[in-house]
Amino acid sequence: MKYRASTPPYTHNLLRLVAELPWKDEAGSQRMEAMERLNSHYIESRYTEDIAELTRVLTDTEAERLLESARELFEWIKARL
């Protein structure tokens, strides 16, 4: 709410949330791709019946990469607030 007069959209879509910010153009393609990857895994894991499938196809290496991307995005966003 610091950057807008209204409540942010009710969504977990990282791309949509960042699109609402005045510094969205600073994200760059690498961060946007990371948000897209994180979004897809959130959507897949949102429904209980999909969690078993996700755990079968998500490797430890990919999980670590996603976690590192999430940490980097968190620090990038936190530094701008």
d(CA 51, CA 74): 24
**Domain annotation covers residue 4:** no
Q: What is the pLDDT of residues 19-33, one digit of tens each?
A: 888 888 999 999 999
> What is the chain's mean pLDDT, rounded?
83
Q: What is the pLDDT of residues 41-59, one digit of tens each?
A: 776 556 667 777 777 778 8
**Domain annotation covers residue 5:** no
Residues 6+ apart with CB under 8 A from 70: 34, 38
According to DSSP, residue 9 is labeled P
**Domain annotation covers residue 46:** yes
Tally the domains of the chain. Answer: 1
* DSSP, residue by residue, 24-62: GGGSHHHHHHHHHHHHHHHHHHSSHHHHHHHHHH--HHH
pTM score: 0.74
- Widest CA span of the chain, in angstroms? 43
Question: Which residue range is the domain that position 56 belongs to?
Answer: 14-80
